[in-house]
C-alpha cells in the first residue's frame, strides 16, 4: 500500500476540533473529513447528513468512497460497523504489547485505501484531516491506522481549558440542541471532567507510542489568540502548506467546508467563527473554577492552565463558509 498522510486531531470533545479541522482542510492539497469513525454509525442509524447537506449515500464524495470500498466485499459496511467500539483503551493496552488484530487490519486498510483513492481522484489530495478525537472508543484509532493499516499518521493533540469544556457540556448535547430536544446531560460536570482527563491522557500516551515527530500539542487558547503562529507551526511540523489558510485569516474571506462527518452545529449553520468563547469566564464562579483546576491539577500543570485564569480573547474574525450544491 502506498504511504499516505493522515493528520489525526485527538483530545476531548468541545475543544474546537471541528474548527481546527475546517481551518486545516483549507490548506494546500488537503481535505478535512471530520469524525470518520462515526460514519458507519451514522449510516446505520440514518438521519445525519454530510456537511455538504446531502445524505452520505448521495454525497458526491462519500458515495464514491463506498462504491470503491464495497466493490469486492458486500459485507464491507457491516464489518466497519462491528469495529465501531473496538478501538478503545483495551486496544491501546494491547498495542503496547504489540498485539495486532487481523480483522481490524483488513477492514480499516481497505476502507482507507478507498478513501484515499476517492480523494486523489477528485483533487490532488496529499493529506487527509480526521477529527475522530480520543474518546473511550477511539483512543487507539490513530495507532491502529498507523500500525495495522500502514498509514503515515501524525497526532495533533488539541486541548482546551477543562473549565471551558465543563461549561460547554453543561449547555447540553449538541445533537439534541440541534434537534430542539431536552439537551441536559445527567452528571454533566463529573462526566466532563473524567472524560477530559481520560481522553487527554489517552491521546498523550498514543502520541508517545506513535513515536518521535508524530505528535504535536495545540492549545485551543493559543490557536484563538495567535492563529497565524500556531498554524505555521503545525504546517512546519506536519509538512503542510498552510499559506491558503493564513490568507483566509488575514483577508477575512470564506472558509470552505467540504464533506465533513459529524462535528458541532457550526458546521451546518453556514457560519464559522474564529474567536474565543469566554462566556464561561464571566459566568462560572471562582470557587467552581478553582475546584475544577484542583480536580485536574496534574494535567492543568502539564497543559499550562492557571488556577484562576484571566484570558482576554479578542474577536479575530468571522467567516462564512461557501455552500456546496
Ligand atoms: Zn458531502
Instruction: Report the separation in Å between the CA atom of 323 and the middle of ligand 1, taken as the mean of its atom positions.
Output: 11
Instruction: Report the separation in Å between the CA atom of 257 and the middle of ligand 1, taken as the mean of its atom positions.
Output: 10
Residue whose C-alpha is closest to residue 213's, from 264, 173, 153 = 153
How far is 309 from 264, CA to CA, in rounded Å?
26
pTM attached to this predicted model: 0.88
Instruction: Write down the pLDDT at residue 321.
Output: 40
pLDDT, tens digit (0-9, with 9 covering 90-100), for 90-99: 888 877 666 6
Instruction: Report the separation in Å between the CA atom of 325 and the middle of ligand 1, taken as the mean of its atom positions.
Output: 10
Query: Based on C-alpha coordinates, what's the Rg of the chain?
Result: 19
Instruction: Report the separation in Å between the CA atom of 197 and the middle of ligand 1, taken as the mean of its atom positions.
Output: 33
- For the chain, which residues make up each domain, given as ranges? 5-162+203-275+317-323
Instruction: Report the separation in Å between the CA atom of 269 and the middle of ligand 1, taken as the mean of its atom positions.
Output: 15
How far is 249 from 234, CA to CA, in rounded Å?
15
Instruction: Report the separation in Å between the CA atom of 98 and the middle of ligand 1, taken as the mean of its atom positions.
Output: 36
Could you list which residues have their CB under 5 Å from ion ligand 1? 50, 52, 59, 259
Q: Are 192 and 169 in contact (CB under 8 A)?
A: yes
Least confident of 17-26, 155-164, 220-229, 273-282: 273-282
Instruction: Report the separation in Å between the CA atom of 246 and the middle of ligand 1, taken as the mean of its atom positions.
Output: 25
Instruction: Report the separation in Å between the CA atom of 163 and the middle of ligand 1, taken as the mean of its atom positions.
Output: 34
Instruction: Write down the pLDDT at residue 277.
Output: 75
Q: Collapse the DSSP code of 241 into the 3-class scheme (helix H, G, I; strand E, B; otherwise coil) and give the result.
A: coil
pLDDT, tens digit (0-9, with 9 covering 90-100), for 115-160: 999 988 767 788 999 999 999 889 999 999 998 888 999 999 999 9
Mean pLDDT of the chain: 84
Which has the higher per-residue pLDDT, 234 or 264?
234
Which residues, 6+ apart, have CB-to-CB distance to 36 below 8 Å?
115, 130, 132, 261
Cell readout for 163 is 473549565
Specify the CATH class of 5-162+203-275+317-323 in words.
alpha beta
Which residues, 6+ apart, have CB-to-CB distance to 35 below 8 Å?
130, 131, 132, 133, 260, 261, 262, 263
Instruction: Report the separation in Å between the CA atom of 52 and the middle of ligand 1, taken as the mean of its atom positions.
Output: 4
- Is a pLDDT exceeding 70 seen at residue 225? yes
Amino acid at each position: 500500500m502506498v504511504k499516505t498522510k493522515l493528520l489525526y486531531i485527538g483530545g476531548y470533545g468541545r475543544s474546537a476540533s471541528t474548527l481546527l479541522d475546517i481551518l486545516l482542510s483549507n490548506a494546500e492539497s488537503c481535505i478535512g473529513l471530520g469524525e470518520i469513525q462515526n460514519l458507519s454509525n451514522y449510516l446505520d442509524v440514518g438521519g445525519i447528513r454530510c456537511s455538504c447537506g446531502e445524505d452520505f449515500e448521495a454525497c458526491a464524495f462519500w458515495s464514491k468512497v463506498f462504491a470503491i470500498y464495497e466493490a469486492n466485499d458486500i459485507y464491507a459496511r457491516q464489518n466497519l460497523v462491528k469495529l465501531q467500539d473496538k478501538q478503545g483503551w483495551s486496544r491501546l493496552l494491547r498495542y503496547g504489547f504489540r498485539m495486532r488484530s487481523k480483522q481490524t487490519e483488513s477492514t480499516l486498510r481497505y476502507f482507507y485505501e478507498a478513501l484515499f483513492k476517492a480523494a486523489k481522484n477528485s483533487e490532488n489530495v496529499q493529506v487527509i484531516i480526521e477529527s475522530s478525537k480520543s474518546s473511550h472508543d477511539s483512543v487507539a484509532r490513530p495507532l491502529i491506522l498507523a500500525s495495522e493499516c500502514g498509514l503515515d499518521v501524525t497526532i495533533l493533540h488539541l486541548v482546551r481549558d477543562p473549565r471551558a469544556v465543563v461549561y460547554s457540556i453543561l449547555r447540553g448535547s449538541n445533537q439534541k440542541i440541534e434537534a430542539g430536544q431536552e439537551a441536559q446531560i445527567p452528571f454533566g460536570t463529573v462526566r466532563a471532567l473524567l472524560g477530559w482527563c481520560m481522553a487527554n491522557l489517552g491521546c498523550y500516551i498514543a502520541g508517545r507510542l506513535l513515536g518521535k515527530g508524530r505528535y504535536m500539542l495545540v492549545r485551543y487558547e493559543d490557536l484563538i489568540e495567535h492563529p497565524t503562529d500556531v498554524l505555521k507551526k503545525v504546517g512546519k511540523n506536519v509538512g503542510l502548506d498552510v499559506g491558503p489558510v493564513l490568507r483566509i485569516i488575514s483577508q477575512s474571506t470564506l472558509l470552505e467546508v467540504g464533506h465533513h462527518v459529524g462535528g458541532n452545529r457550526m458546521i451546518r449553520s453556514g457560519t464559522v467563527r474564529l474567536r474565543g468563547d469566554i462566556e464561561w469566564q464571566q459566568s462560572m464562579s471562582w470557587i467552581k473554577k478553582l475546584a475544577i483546576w484542583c480536580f485536574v491539577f496534574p494535567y492543568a500543570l502539564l497543559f499550562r492552565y492557571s488556577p484562576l485564569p484571566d484570558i482576554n480573547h479578542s474577536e479575530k474574525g468571522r467567516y462564512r463558509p461557501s455552500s456546496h450544491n
